[in-house]
Amino acid sequence: MRIHELKRRLREAGAGPSHEQRILRLWSHALPRNSGRRLPATFFPSSLMEVLPAIEAELAGLARIHAIHPGADGSERLLVALADGQTVESVLLPRDGLCVSSQVGCAVGCQFCMTGRDGLLRQVESAEIIAQVALARLRRPVRKVVFMGMGEPAHNLDNVIEAIELLGTVGNIGHKNLVFSTVGDPRVFERLLQARVRPALALSLHTTDAELRRKLLPRAPNLTPEALIDAGERYARATGYPIQYQWTLLEGVNDGPEEIEGIVRLLSGKYGVLNMIPFNTVDGVAFGRPSRERCEQMARTLHARGILTKLRYSAGQDVDGGCGQLRARAVEARVT
Ligand code: SF4
């Protein structure tokens, strides 16, 4: 279900703008399911009250939590089953954050990612994105939503923008706390600037070497790191939100002195922050994770050279849950 279809059905049943807003607000906050409260019959037109139970049941049936994997860092990885039996991952992050998935599978095929292994299976619809937020809110408050789970949000732009618009209005998430993550599809920069709710942007950089980036991200748009950073800088200046440059640290691949020089050359003076995430080692993926000392030394060196750098260990690593790994394990368990 898409959000605009849901709105159309509500209007056809007699909902005015305030009724519609109230229903969408309650849904995105997991109410009334969460509180057991029912919507007061006097509040809505009777024609709307007639169809509302069926619509509520449909919304509640969009997704359910199939499995929960708590991490020692306070995160929780949720394996979410969609109505057609497909599964996606959402991750409850420390400090009220939630990472959601925008696709089942992914067409970009990054060499270090499990999600891209099977290609794109299907889009996650806008209502299914909100359903992930509503399910997470059954467990704890959500005040930040990052689109960094399974999938490339740029390849599902209409659904993701629709979900962002709802979350940034009735969903009560501050606009800068909505983070759209992309490998750098040029359409993104234009569309997000025109959107009613403009999110913050995370760009998957991973290397400053154009040739290496083509190998690591084989089906990403063919933008050089320089062009990607230029587009990011324009977006950051237009919105006032710094760009989050993502860098998965791979041992012996992008953790050397030449990358430090490249980063200093490309990111000095830019309105952004570099998030370095040591790779989460996975069976069957031929990359290693640099030692903690190596990662810390790289972050320290960059800091000393004026690059705002944060070393982040991805949430829930202790549950073997890098992007796409829970789903991959669940699918494996089903077929064996
Ligand atoms: Fe897709 Fe992101 Fe995985 Fe790359 S890292 S294959 S863009 S899900």
Tell me the mean pLDDT in the region 221-241: 96
Find the mean pLDDT for residues 185-209. 96
Question: Quick one: pLDDT band at residue 282, thresholds 50, 70, 90?
Answer: confident
> How much of the chain, in percent, has pLDDT values that exceed 70?
90
Ligand 1, atom 8, lies closest to the CA of 151
- State the pLDDT at residue 283: 74
Measured distance CA(227)–CA(235) in Å, rounded: 13
Comparing C-alpha atoms, which of 168, 197, 161 is closest to residue 182?
A: 161
Using pLDDT thresholds of 50, 70 and 90, give the confidence band for residue 97: very high
Which whole number is the average pLDDT over 45-57? 92
How far apart CA 145 and CA 147 sit, in angstroms, is 7
CB under 6 Å to ligand 1: residues? 106, 108-110, 113, 115-116, 150-152, 183, 323
Expressed in angstroms and rounded, the spacing between residue 2 Cα and the centre of ligand 1 is 23
For every residue of 220-281, DSSP letters joined together read: S----HHHHHHHHHHHHHHHS--EEEEEEE-TTTS-SHHHHHHHHHHHTT-SEEEEEEE---
Find the 51 Cα to ligand 1 centroid distance in Å: 39
Ligand 1 atom showing the smallest separation from residue 116 Cα: 6
Angstrom distance (rounded) from CA 58 to CA 49: 15
Please check whether residue 232 is in contact with residue 212, taking contact to mean a CB–CB distance below 8 angstroms: no
Rg of the Cα trace of the chain?
A: 21
Distance of CA 175 from the midpoint of ligand 1 (Å)? 24
Residue of 183, 219, 280 to test ligand 1 pocket, by largest number of atoms within 8 Å of CB? 183
Query: What residue owns the CA closest to ligand 1's atom 4?
Result: 110
Confidence (pLDDT) at 323 = 55
Distance of CA 7 from the midpoint of ligand 1 (Å): 31
* More confident site: 319 or 81: 81
What is the crossing angle of helices 3-12 and 17-28, to 10°? 140
Q: Residue 336: pLDDT above 80?
A: no
User: CB-hemisphere CA count at 13 Å for 119?
Assistant: 1
Q: What tokens does 232 get?
A: 């990011």
Pocket-testing residue among 110, 121, 182, ligand 1, by greatest number of atoms within 8 A of Cβ: 110
Quickly state the pLDDT bin for 328 (edges 50, 70, 90). Answer: low
Average pLDDT of the residues in 234-263: 97
Distance 72 CA to ligand 1 centre (A): 25
195's tokens: 């959107």
Beta-carbon count within 10 A of 193 CB: 12
In terms of DSSP bridges, do strands 144-147 and 97-99 run parallel, antiparallel, or are they unpaired? parallel
Report the alpha-carbon distance of residue 217 to residue 13 in Å, rounded: 47
Q: In this structure, are residues 271 and 244 in contact, taking their beta carbons and an 8 Å threshold? A: no
> pLDDT tier at 325 (50, 70, 90 boundaries)?
low
Question: Distance of CA 150 to CAs 101, 121, 165, 325, 328, Å?
Answer: 5, 11, 20, 10, 11
Distance of alpha carbon 145 from alpha carbon 126, whole angstroms: 14
Determine the pLDDT at residue 41.
56
Does 199 score more than 80 pLDDT? yes
Tell which wins on pLDDT, 286 or 182: 182
| Predicted local confidence at residue 285, as pLDDT | 78
Asked if 264 contacts 218 with a C-beta cutoff of 8 angstroms, the reply is no
Which pTM does this prediction carry? 0.92
Report pLDDT for 34: 47
What pLDDT, on a 0 to 100 scale, did the predictor assign at position 43? 77
Give the pLDDT of residue 183.
Answer: 95
What is the distance in angstroms between the CA of the first residue and the CA of the last residue of the chain? 32
Residue 35, pLDDT > 60, answer: no
Evaluate the CA torsion angle 106, 83, 7, 24 in order and state its sign.
negative
Helices 17-28 and 157-167, interaxial angle, to 10°?
100
What one-character DSSP code corresponds to residue 153? G
Confidence of residue 284 (pLDDT cuts 50, 70, 90): confident
In tens, the pLDDT along 135-182 reads 999 999 999 999 999 999 999 999 999 999 999 999 999 999 999 999
The reported pLDDT for the residue numbered 36 is 46
pLDDT for residue 324 is more than 70: no
- Give me ligand 1 centre to Cα 112, in Å: 8
pLDDT band for position 321 (cuts 50, 70, 90): very low
Q: What is the pLDDT of residue 30?
A: 86
Query: Which are the catalytic amino acids?
Result: 89, 323
Q: Report whether pLDDT(271) > 70.
A: yes
